[in-house]
Structure 1
Amino acid sequence: MTADRQPLIECEHCASIYRRHRLEPGETANCARCGAILWRYSGLTLSNWLALAIAALIVFGVANAYPVASMAVQGMTQQASLLDAISITWRQRHEVVAVMTGLAGFALPLLQLTVLLWVLGPLSRGSEPVAFRAAMRLLGVLRPWCMIPVFLLGVLVAVVKLAGMAAVSPGIGLGAFGLLTILLTMLGRLSPHVIWRYAETMEVVPVHVPRAKPDEVLTGCHVCGQVQALPRDAEEAEHHCVRCDALVHYRKPDHLARTWALLLAAVVFYIPANVLPVMKVSSVLGDSAHTILGGVVELWEMGSWDIALIVFIASVAVPLTKLLALILLLLTEQWRSTTNLRPRTRLYQMVEFIGQWSMLDVFVVILLAALADFQGLMEISAGAGAAAFGVVVILTMLSAMSFDLRRSWDLEGQSEIESAPVEGRRQPAPGAGQEMG
């Protein structure tokens, strides 16, 4: 492929445009401007990815068919799977918590694996899948909301919490969820952008290399990554991607207003999430209620300081860090600051990475409710704080998705980059890599 036909790629964080080159084993292409990773070398073929997706689907079935743990109290034994925990939570009339955990832990991961199999099967044979564009748009929506690793950590925390009250033993489902977490982490690198690059390399889809005219600017599609030329005055206008037909904006419209609105809503829900109990316990010894911090203190007093630290970080430190980090990013954007752009980019990447881990306590509560479901002896149920906390997680994730970091980089000489032709744009740093294999 000649140099002028090599596909273009946009850095999602600073909007710099590069030509995609072939990478050698072990190489990673980084943005020369903000330092973000653009793409990595992968030695896996589409057939390898297909095998991983099939294995993940099989393990997913095993993980949900068998209990993750069992609990024995006074001769009675209670086993619980993820589906049991969701069902019991619904039965206890905590529908909001049941729906959130059911979607994040079961329905959306299953749909994600189904979509991957739908597209990887035909692509591995060299043909374009049916409804390929719609499937890729759906995959892009699903990926941030699949929280199997968070549920796995929630199982471990729940087992430690109950170990001091009764005999608790792990089940087959726990090992299956551990293996599923590994497989999904590997498949996590197979983003819609990467799948489209495989399709280009195999010539299943055409390569479109735009050339911006003087009155046009280049920008990338957030779904498939296709770089395309848009009119210079298209900042707020809607256009459709030339490849996948998704809506394309040069920059996210009204990103500050949207981000502030979602963030302030998260702050409002953050108060009841920490004040109201996330878990209620009813037993022959009486009733009690536990807040998030109360649960951390209880674990610490039980001697499980390591688990207490994990819960404190995931359920207290992470949500607060996300809120403060987003507020800082919004204020620096409104103040039109161009200082410390690289550290601010790292901060935004951190907010995106830790987004889903705050759901830990919600998963812990529903699993405790399933394991300690001994009518007349002990019963654990979710509290109002669990629903509020889940809403905080969702709102902070949506807030981070609404923020457009590229606008901060626009203030730092972006107009000069946009006005140059493709050949004059920033190119990868020496050794930054050449097109993925």
Structure 2
Amino acid sequence: MTGTYIACHHCGQMHERSALASGQRASCVRCGTVLWSQGVLNSTAWLAIVLTSLIAFTIANFMPVGTITAVGLKSSSTFLDAVAATWRAGYPSVAIMCFATGFLMPLLDILILAWLLAFSRQGRVAPGLNLLSRWLHYVRPWAMVPVFMLGALVAIVKLADMASLTPGAGLWAYAALTFLLTGLSKLNSERVWLLAEQDGAVQSMPVSIEPQHHPLDCEVCGQITMSTADEGHCQRCHTRVHYRKPAHKTRTLAILLTAIILYLPANLYPVMINTTVLGGTSSHTILGGILELWNMGSWDLALIVFIASFVVPLTKIVILAILLGRPAKGRRDTMMHYTRMYQTVELIGQWSMLDVFVVILLTSLVNFGPLMTVRPDVGAAAFGMVVVVTMFATMNFDIRKGWDEVDDDIELPDYQPAATAPTFT
């Protein structure tokens, strides 16, 4: 049986690729995951959004986020100033994490999209398409501009009682960039390849379904490659692909244990230290900062920070532990619940970085020498590492392995290698 197929990244079920009407989407018949959709925007429209994002990104990073006035002195800061101040304060690990997630990764994301779409809209294959789409797939989860924007709002509220703050052009540009990048989050590497197909720049390669072969699913371009081995290379974009991620439970468990170890100092040690002439030196843990916001009357932001900085990382750790300890076999409805839990962890992964961004921004803005300073502390470095490590743990886990062992209680075609038509909405 030869044709064009797509595999669900969450359960492995194969489906025949069908043309969709504008605004329509196809969902997996087995686990309900959205497989692909037909948006209303073409390559030209997406390119316009990307170029607008690049302009907003430039303004956001090279214009001050804000200027504070205290004791007759003024201090302003861009995002890059905040990174540099954190480095000078003696925490290069925090500075590197913030530079990568708040500047480098978003910039790469935007530039790669601009390059690929500029050629796609002309019906041409972009030079470096295989490599750049692979980079886009790996870079995307680490671009955290919306998280920094929320962190900037929290920092503004924290500064309200310390000094007078005037929002800068960089802050408004970050607000616009957050909106634009939220829209661009739908334009992943697979969607870029799908647009290139629609523009005639590339073609999907038909495959022959044979019982003795494994379907190797490429998460970069969506192409199915049939192979007798458990691993190989995508026949279209040449990305290394596996039938299932090797030793996924062992690796995930090792990474998760690292996150648990780091989680303790992240919450017990201060994330920042305030020094003032009149008030002396005071330190704040994550929970201490939340209580401070609550006492200031900003209960809404206190709730947001509590969820992002305490509930989210703990939830990720608990859910991954549940997934690792699930029974070897189970029913389809149970596996559906596990899949939704895993998708939740994928969705909330980066938002724990909120407090780290707050700390670096305060470090840069509140810098008045012996009169008033803020600097990061051990808790910020540990907390940033918790965010990074839990995201790696999520990426290493393979939820499809659980579906391989499911006793399906609904009528479906044979799981492998037969394919079925997806459901449409």
TM-score class, shorter-chain normalisation, is over 0.9
Paired with 1:53 and 1:420, the residues of 2 have a C-alpha distance of 39
Map of 1:294 onto structure 2: 288
1:244 to 2:237 alignment: yes
Kept in 1, the 8 Å contact 2:329–2:407? The answer is: no
- In the other structure, the counterpart of 2:181 is 184
Residue correspondences, number: 420
Give the direction of change, closer, same or farther, for the CA distance of 1:337–1:419 in structure 2 (3 Å limit). Answer: closer
Secondary structure at the aligned position of 1:323 is classed as helix
Amino acid at match of 1:223: V
1:74 aligns with 2:68: no
Match of 1:16 in 2: 13
C-alpha displacement of 1:77? 1.1
Name the residue aligned to 2:159: 162
Distance 1:337 1:141, change over 3 A: same
1:305 aligns with 2:302: no
Deviates more, 1:121-130 or 1:13-22: 13-22
Separation in 1, partners of 2:414, 2:272: 54
What is the deviation of 1:262?
0.5
TM-score norm. by structure 1 comes to 0.93
Tell me, what secondary structure is at the counterpart of 2:243? coil
Question: How many Å separate the matches in 2 of 1:135 and 1:60?
Answer: 20
Distance 1:101 1:95 in 2: 10
User: Alpha-carbon deviation of 1:418?
Assistant: 4.2
Aligned to 1:77, the other structure's residue is in SS state strand
RMSD across aligned positions (CA): 1.6
Matched, 1:122 2:115: no
Corresponding residue number in structure 1 for 2:136: 139
Counterparts of 1:34 and 1:104, CA distance in 2: 32
After superposition, residues 353-368 of structure 1 pair within 5 angstroms as 353-368=347-362
Equivalent runs, 1:310-325 vs 2, <5 Å: 310-325=304-319
Q: Provide the C-alpha distance between the structure 2 equivalents of 1:420 and 1:133, rounded to a whole number of angstroms.
A: 27
TM-score (norm 2): 0.96
Tell me how far apart the structure 1 counterparts of residues 191 and 372 of structure 2 sit (CA, whole Å): 49
Q: Contact conserved, 1:299 with 1:308, CA < 8 A, in 2?
A: yes
Rounded to whole Å, the distance in 2 between the matches of 1:226 and 1:378 is 57
**1:416 CA drift (Å):** 7.3
Query: One-letter code of the match for 1:158?
Result: A
- What runs of 5+ residues in structure 2 fail to find an aligned partner? none
Alignment of 1:284-433 (within 5 A): 284=277, 285-332=279-326, 335-338=328-331, 340-413=334-407, 417-421=414-418, 425-429=419-423, 432=424
Aligned counterparts of 1:230 and 1:261: Cα–Cα separation in 2: 30
Matches within 5 A, 1:124-273: 124-231=121-228, 234-235=229-230, 238-273=231-266
Q: CA deviation at 1:29?
A: 1.3
Q: 2:275: which partner in 1?
A: 282
How many Å separate the matches in 2 of 1:120 and 1:71? 41
Match of 2:100 in 1: 103
- CA 418–31 in structure 1, closer or farther in 2 if over 3 Å, else same: closer
3-state SS of 1:89 partner: helix
CA distance in 2, matches of 1:292, 1:214: 54
CA drift of 1:192 comes to: 0.7
SS in 2 for 1:253: coil
Aligned sequence identity (%): 45
Partner Cα distance (1:25, 1:343) in 2: 30
Amino acid at match of 2:245: K
**What 5-or-longer segments of structure 1 have no aligned partner?**
none
> In 2, Cα distance between the equivalents of 1:417 and 1:271?
46
CA distance in 2, matches of 1:124, 1:178: 28
